[in-house]
Structure 1
């Protein structure tokens, strides 16, 4: 499978995997998004990407590509939402 790795912040690695034409699926190491400043930077990046491509952007916890994603940028609503259910 093709993989694209992007660093929206020097210490934040975001991995993208092609999945479907209508959405971008990706994962991120949750430890790299800790702290409000880093989380804000990542959310700005998701918004810029989603708005530019006019597509939803789904983000999974690193190594976990089961549905639903932990967070998503909804291009129609223009916002990032956290969806992760509590771990059992």
Structure 2
């Protein structure tokens, strides 16, 4: 069965960007703290899910992309493309 993958074989485009943004926040958020923040927002994600997303093992839904953008205080484009500027 054919599965869509990114050019580097990952199951998502956003995992690397989520990790980069999470670690560049001052102070940096751990995966556990990000998971807790998202749980308070009403999303059922734990730190193991975030690890699997960041390593590209897990697909990410559009609802989760929206939640990550909100939790991290960035745009959808920052999550997907790693760019947080409006063109």
Q: Shorter-chain-normalised TM-score: which range?
A: under 0.3
Q: Which has the higher helix share?
A: 2
Q: Which structure's residues are more often strand, by fraction?
A: 1
TM-score (normalised: structure 1): 0.25
Greater relative contact order structure (CA < 8 Å, 6+ sep)? 2
TM-score by length of 2: 0.26
